[in-house]
Amino acid sequence: MTFALVDCNSFYASCERIFRPDIKKRPVVVLSNNDGCVVALSKEAKQLGIKMCEPWFKIEKSFLKRGGVAFSSNYELYADVSSRVMQTLEYLSPNVEIYSIDEAFLDLTGIRDLEQFGHQCRTTINRWVGVPVCVGIGPTKTLAKVANYGAKHYPATEGVVDLSDTKRRKKLMSLMPVREVWGVGSRINRKLHTLGIETALELAEMDIKLIKRKFSSVLERTVMELQGYPCIGLEQQPKTKKQIVVSRTFSRKVNDLDSINEAVSDYAARACAKLRRENQYCKMVSVFMRTNYFRKQDRQYHGFKSYRLFSPTNDTRDILNATRQLTKQIFQTNINFIKAGVMLSDFYDEGVYQGDLFRTIDKRINSEELMTTIDKINTSGIGKVTFASQGIKKSWSMRRLLKSPRYLTNWEEMPVVK
Amino acid sequence: MKIDYLGDASEEDLSPLEIPYFLNTVRVGWPSPADDYVERPIDLNEYLIKNSAATYFVRVSGDSMINAHIGDGAILIVDRSIEPSHNKIVIASIDGSYACKRLLLKPKMCLMSENPKYPPILINKEEELEIAGTVIAAINLY
């Protein structure tokens, strides 16, 4: 078998550059919701010593002074660019697994000149979409990830590494810290360190039985994959989600029930639209809200409560009833809230739920038609229909002062040329 | 002026690329005898967009390309997958912003406006030329 991992370089920052030729060489950072901290940075920003997750207010002045450019996250743009990258990959190779917004695995079994194929991927995506990618190739998915690490870290590779050759594989793994291996989290990393394992190669050469005894069968699979035995196949069907969470940080401290209710209702309505997109029905609704841990002078509080519905639903009105009650129960006065969220879980496919014997399922009339119509309007790009409880002014909503235009998804914001 | 009739346009021109193929997909009982004659409504997307992954729209500001029938406010359809070549209308990066110009490779490499008011921009080295796609159509609303 042969797999490739195609991974976009500093994806969000690269998206911001597509329609801005003036910032091609300048340091670029993208900020999290509310412009809180750095979630993506270009190579040039890295060279200035900026790190992921750094709070924006700490670096703002010196970063801008040194010629840096910052953007609020523009997910409309990133999602559209991502789908273009994936579409291009599907044109190049028949078997594509979309792994995340900026990564995809390809099944390259049967392709003869792998390195040439890798370069073809790179140049095609760069030409068609305008974002740079790296391609890692190996006999297993875990080794394709290792190869991608090499392609990213060593410019001499020109962004493509093929690890079909076992000597090359060993060399790269001996240079790669074990925590960079796919599937090795920080806890496993610490435990491996106590066993004296520092590099990917040392992990690959471990005794499999020992790994299974001391760790888990998951890490055993990782070691097998590092040794070149494929254990993980390509998943072309996206898994059905097990839960949906919508949560946001507020733009300011919020301490009144009305605003919290609006925010939670808004998140609930978004979560319901996602649920219907997955064709699922849920029975469990949870609401959570918390204070700002960094404001030591404030009283700290984290509230979480769940409600089990009598029968599975995806009708926004049922969910809103539940979240409104939960919000009232969790809310406390004289507390400065900074974040709230809604979680839907316990999912059912349509029609599989066995109803309660003593309770007839009281489904609302025309529920499906109404929800379908609302979703259609809200995705049409023409206007939005919301429930009154979602609020109108949304004074609590996110701060995105530095957002770039929605170049690819909005008629009013497309790029302008002279 | 001679005009060829192409067919009826669908109501949803320029809507997302969702195309109804046949009216009766599940055949129950007698198929409609008209089914064999059902065609798709004409879809402008199909006509204008050859490679959707590589195609984007830009809006024109100004009159520098007026003699190529590209007016102020026109929407250009730009395909990044088409190799820019001599005499093609392209989107090029000039002084840090994108502009629409005609690319000439001979006798000297330059970017031409289609309006005598604007002088051609000479390109000294190929590396200085950065092209962000080839314009394949312009839409002007009257």
pLDDT digits (tens, 9 = 90+) for A243-252: 788 888 888 8
pLDDT category, B36, cuts 50, 70, 90? low
Nearest to B54 among A128, A408, A417 (CB): A128
CATH of domain A9-77: 3.40.1170.60
What residues in B contact A413, CB-CB < 8 Å? none
pLDDT digits (tens, 9 = 90+) for A37-93: 999 999 999 999 999 989 999 999 999 999 999 999 888 899 889 989 999 998 898
Instruction: Please report the domains of chain B, with CATH numbers, ordered by start residue.
Output: 1-48 (no CATH), 52-139 (2.10.109.10)
What residues in B contact A414, CB-CB < 8 Å? 56-59, 75
Bigger pLDDT: A358 or B47? Answer: B47
Kindly report the nearest CA distance between residue B125 and chain A, in angstroms. 18
Helix axis angle for A75-92 and A114-128, nearest 10°, is: 140
Pair B89, B106: CB distance under 8 Å: no
Of the listed B10, B50, B64, B106, which one is catalytic? Answer: B64
Pair B132, B93: CB distance under 8 Å: yes
pLDDT category, A125, cuts 50, 70, 90? very high
Q: Where in chain A is the domain with CATH 3.30.1490.100?
A: 243-390
Place of tokens 């649920």: A275
Residue B18's pLDDT is what? 44
Query: From start to end of A211-365, where are the E strands?
Result: 243-254, 280-291, 302-313, 337-349
Mean pLDDT of A216-232: 92
pLDDT category, A369, cuts 50, 70, 90? confident
Mark yes or no for CB contact A416/B58 under 8 Å: yes
CATH 3.30.1490.100 fits A243-390, yes or no: yes
Residue B19 reports pLDDT greater than 50: no
Which residues, at least 6 apart from A211, have a Cβ–Cβ distance to it below 8 Å? A219, A220, A223
Establish, for the pair of chains A and B, how many residue pairs have beta carbons separated by less than 8 Å: 62
CATH 3.20.20.70 fits A3-7+85-226, yes or no: no
Q: Where in chain A is the domain with CATH 3.40.1170.60?
A: 9-77
Q: Where in chain A is the domain with CATH 3.30.70.270?
A: 3-7+85-226
User: For A45-78, b where at least 16 C-beta lie within 10 A, e where not — what string?
Assistant: beebebeeebebeebeeebeeeebbbbbbbbbbb
What residues in B contact A85, CB-CB < 8 Å? 53
Pair A347, A295: CB distance under 8 Å: no
Residue B64 catalytic? yes
Report the chain A residue with the minimal C-alpha distance to residue B83: A127
